[in-house]
Structure 1
Amino acid sequence: MIIYTFSLHPELFIMGNITLTNQTTMMTGSQESLQTNFSWLLRNASSLAGVISECNKNGTPPVRVPIQILILVTALPANAVLVWLLLKNRKPLSPSEVLGLNLAVLSILYCLSLPLDIYISTRQRSGLLLQISHTFSILSYFGCPLLLSSMCVERYVAASFPVLFMRLGKWEYRAACSAFIWLLTFTMAAATYVYTLSTVALALSFILNILFFFMLVSLLGIVWVLCKRGPGDATTGEQRESSIKKRALKNIIAVMVPSTVTYLPVLALAPFLLLLEAIGDQGLNAVLCNGLQMFSVLPNFGVCIGPSFYLSRARQVLCCWRNEARGTDRN
């Protein structure tokens, strides 16, 4: 039956073969194009990694070690106090407090790795110790911006969609969100250890830009919500919701101001890396290498943002301590 049909319509059989041949050719061409693009990306990443490795061998700028020491002595005790403040109350933590607790723990882990970075900065920045230090630096380069952007988005949801925010306040959602953030952070850290920070530097710089963009969009969204007046804004029943929105704006501004100061210069990191890739090993000099080292230090100030977010709570605790001390002296 099939043979009879082909004998009656041989042109259909020929056209079908031609169509299959064209599809096979297109698939083969697409695979070759993907392989070419992937090879080009690997070649560019390898060349950029060579440039960054060459800069690491040329030493570090004199200000790098003092900046790292300053971050260590300020961020470590501040985040330790933040963990104590969040855990001293036995009542359930709010979603923003859960994210703040995760941010403080992540910052403490990074601060504990800073002595290793300071040690190798006084010597040649190469070898296994540098690779381990770069792996821990992902906690600051990727984990901190990710948690900060999550806190900003959470504040935006609280201001724009209060009903949805109350529904998502269950501990299951908080645990799932925290676990997902830690999973992404550890995955990025593992990729950095396997492929080295020099190889993933360009991709990491674009990720930082995206996370910083989310922070700014969240701030602008909250400002837009607070500036928009509804028909029930003047009623007494809406006063509580209005106070929640104002508190959300205050909190997100407390995060955004230091975040902008910390991560705004990082927007120039991707173009700077592309410039280093275009220059290559032959055009490197001390100024470019020192600039690269400073770009790698700036995001580390992100570990100091979490304690500033809860600075008002720390002041309340200090005021309570002073009042209790005065009451004890009077007795």
Structure 2
Amino acid sequence: MRALFINNTLLVIHRPANISLLELTVFEGCRDKPEVLIWYFCLQFINLFLGIPANVMVLWLIRRSKGDSSTSDIFILHLAVLDTFFCLIPPLEFTNLMYLTTDSTWYVLRFFYGVKDSSPLFLSCICMDRYMAVRHPITFTELKDRKHRSVCAAVVWLITLAYAIAKCVGNIPNFEKAFTVMILAAFAFMVFCNVSILWALRQSGPGRDDMHPVKKRAFKMVLIILAIIVFNYFPPVALFPFQEYFTPGVFRCYIHYIAFGFMDISSSIQPVLYLSKGKLALPTCTCCRCCPATGEMQVST
């Protein structure tokens, strides 16, 4: 049998007696279950043709508005770089899964997969930044310079590269558990930050029963952002901890590609939402800050 690592999962492909080991591709191993694999490739090519230009546009907009950028833009910029990098792989991935069985291409693909696996870390940094702006505005104001954010971004990149290299090596026992722990922790943290922001925005001002129109718009936007986070990251969170309950064939050809299909399409959804709604729109938490003169909460874009 031949062991192949795809994303965070060890896939074991058993060789039929009449087929050479080197002739068996992933698509042939899932020949009786091709619909999910085809669906996965459709999402990956959406990333190629939509995700790359959208992320490049995000990078250009952030670069152009450097003098008037938000505190989270440094994380958004690095996330766009990461997603652009990941969106380059569909041609190689398609060729490899459909036609090739060479080990060299798997090394390259596992590195790309490792980079994408770590993208929730940058999203968590963005959510933390916006959470502090809403729930702890005084502390946020004191830490508004970008030095510590650059340090955080550098640390995330070090973790990302170390994780991707370890995945590329591909022979670390139980390495898939590292992804499960990381995605569970990041998902819980992002949901906590967004729910906290929604709770803060939901509070009415003194003597008013209705939410301020600006807060109402921000509330709706954060609600959309929370829905997108759940859409992209809940499938792997819900499915991968229970991998042992699925048969190897079902997990290899169905569960694996369903979960990562939803997660990978975030490389296109996030920049498109950013471009359509402005800086408020990436999967983060809408900023609010305390007005020094009145002490009231103000929505910040």
Once residues 201 and 221 of structure 1 are traced to their aligned partners in structure 2, the CA distance between those partners, rounded to angstroms, is: 31
Taking a change above 3 Å as real, the CA distance of residues 165 and 216 of structure 1, as seen in their structure-2 partners, is same
Per the alignment, in what secondary structure is the counterpart of residue 175 of structure 2?
helix
Give distance in 2, aligned partners of 1:305 and 1:209.
Answer: 21
Matched, 1:207 2:207: no
Structure 1 unpaired stretches of 5+: 1-45, 315-331
Q: 1:119 Cα shift?
A: 1.8
Q: Distance in 2 between matches of 1:181 and 1:190?
A: 14
- Please say if 1:146 is aligned against 2:121: yes
CA drift at 1:288? 3.6
Task: Provide, for residues 79-102 of structure 1, a one-character-per-residue CA deviation record: whole Å limited to 9, x for no partner.
Answer: 111111111124053222111111
| CA gap 1:221/1:52 in 2 versus in 1, 3 angstroms | same
In the superposition, the TM-score normalised over structure 1's length comes to 0.66
1:156 and 2:131 correspond:
yes
Bigger CA radius of gyration: 1
Match of 2:268 in 1: 304
Letter in 2 for 1:176: V
SS of equivalent residue, structure 1 residue 52: strand
Structure (1/2) with the larger strand percentage: 2
Residue 271 of structure 1 pairs with residue 241 of structure 2: yes
TM-score (norm 2): 0.72
Aligned length: 252
Aligned-CA RMSD value: 3.1
Distance 1:213 1:81, change over 3 A: same
Name the CA shift for 1:160/1:51 in 2 (closer, same or farther; >3 Å): closer
Q: Given that residues 158 and 245 in structure 1 are in contact (C-alpha distance below 8 angstroms), is that contact kept between their aligned partners in structure 2?
A: no
- Aligned CA distance change for structure 1 residues 295 and 112 (closer, same or farther; 3 Å): same
Partner residue of 1:258 out of 201, 224, 228: 228
Code of the aligned partner of 1:297: G
Residue 77 of structure 1: aligned partner: 53
Aligned partner of residue 112 in structure 1, secondary structure = coil
2:64 corresponds to:
88
Deviation at 1:164, TM superposition (A): 1.1
Give the 3 Å change call, closer, same or farther, for CA 168–257 of structure 1 in structure 2.
Answer: same
Identity of aligned residues (%): 24
Gaps of 5+ in 2: 15-24, 280-301
Tell me the CA shift for residue 313 of structure 1: 2.7
From the superposition, tell whether residues 109 and 227 of structure 1 become closer, same or farther in structure 2 (CA, over 3 Å). Answer: same
C-alpha distance in 2, partners of 1:182/1:204?
16
- In terms of fraction of residues, the more helix-rich structure is 1
1:67 paired with 2:43, answer: yes
